[in-house]
Amino acid sequence: MTDENQMKTEPPVKLKGVGGGLWITIDPSRPEDLIKREVKTLFERLRNLAINAEVVIDTGGAKGHEALIKELKTYLIETFHVKTVKKPPEKRSVPVERIRQRDLSRSFNHHRSDVMMLRGRVRSGQKIESKKHIVIAGDVNPGAEISAGGDIIVLGRLKGKVHAGVPDNHNSIIFALEFNPTQVRIGSITAAGVKESSKSAAEFASIDREGIVVQDYLKVNPFGKIPWPEVI
């Protein structure tokens, strides 16, 4: 069987479930009318399962078919009430991935970190200082003071005074599994501590519009915008 004949026996549209959504793979070399009919048939079989689904349309890397994708998107949203229709995320080239992995490995092998890591409780009256980041696997009691040139990460209860980003790094954050400090300072901005609450949730403080705000870590995730691991 020739490649051309094999291609004709392959369905022009393939549909599979991925995560909580649907992934459509189309063969844009086939007639558009055929592709549209196949999409209609497949989604009619799904019935209510397509409602509010997140759909990805994959052309297998073929370029120049934006008009077809746009037409399918409009059809699926208006007819089957899917939630979103988008193209698959672009894959990084293998050379780029290899270069990044190589650089990251070199960083781990040759980098001497000034990050201070502590394990145990920081008690009242104790002062901890570091030129870069501080990570504490334990609690920080009221009356304790922590200051760092970068971020402060507390894997426990934070109830003392904390100053991140010393002296003027306003991009630093203060994170704790239980966030109840008596005083918070980031760079040159200072805020009073927060009232102790019964809520037990990981939170972090950062600067937003010249003020310090405290947010739920799981909902905002300050590190989510970093696309690649950084050696600190």
Which 3 state secondary structure label does DSSP give 52? Answer: coil
pLDDT of 195 strictly over 60:
no
Tokens (6 digits) for 43: 């989604």
Is residue 214 within 8 Å of 222, Cβ to Cβ? Answer: no
Residue 3's CB: how many other CB atoms inside 10 A? 7
pLDDT of 187 strictly over 90:
yes
221/216 Cα distance (integer angstroms): 8
- How open is the CA angle 154-157-160, to the nearest 5 degrees? 85
- Residue with more model confidence, 196 or 181: 181
Q: What is the mean pLDDT of residues 23-50?
A: 89
Is residue 19 within 8 Å of 13, Cβ to Cβ? Answer: no
- Residue with more model confidence, 77 or 9: 77
Q: Which amino acid is at 32?
A: E
Is residue 141 within 8 Å of 156, Cβ to Cβ? Answer: no
Taking only the tens place, the pLDDT of each residue in 59-71 is 988 888 899 999 9
Q: Which amino acid is at 70?
A: K
Give the strands of the sheet with 13-18, arranged side by side.
13-18, 21-26, 54-58, 84-86
DSSP string, 3-50: HHHHHHHS-SEEEEEETTEEEEEE-TTS-HHHHHHHHHHHHHHHGGGG
pLDDT class for 6, splitting at 50, 70, 90? Answer: very low
pLDDT of 160 strictly over 90:
yes
- Residue with more model confidence, 43 or 90: 43
**pLDDT value at residue 46:** 83
- Per cent of the chain over pLDDT 70 is 78
Tokens (6 digits) for 110: 């040759």
Whole-number mean pLDDT of the chain? 83
**pLDDT value at residue 110:** 55
Query: If we measure between CA atoms, which residue out of 127, 131, 171, 179 comes closest to residue 153?
Result: 179
Q: What is the mean pLDDT of residues 24-43?
A: 92
Give the strands of the sheet with 127-130, arranged side by side.
127-130, 145-148, 161-164, 183-186, 189-192
Is the pTM value of this prediction over 0.85? Answer: no
**pLDDT value at residue 3:** 46
**pLDDT value at residue 78:** 92
DSSP string, 98-161: HHHHHHHHHHHHH-----EEEES-B-TT-EEEESS-EEEES-B-TT-EEEESS-EEEEEEE-SE
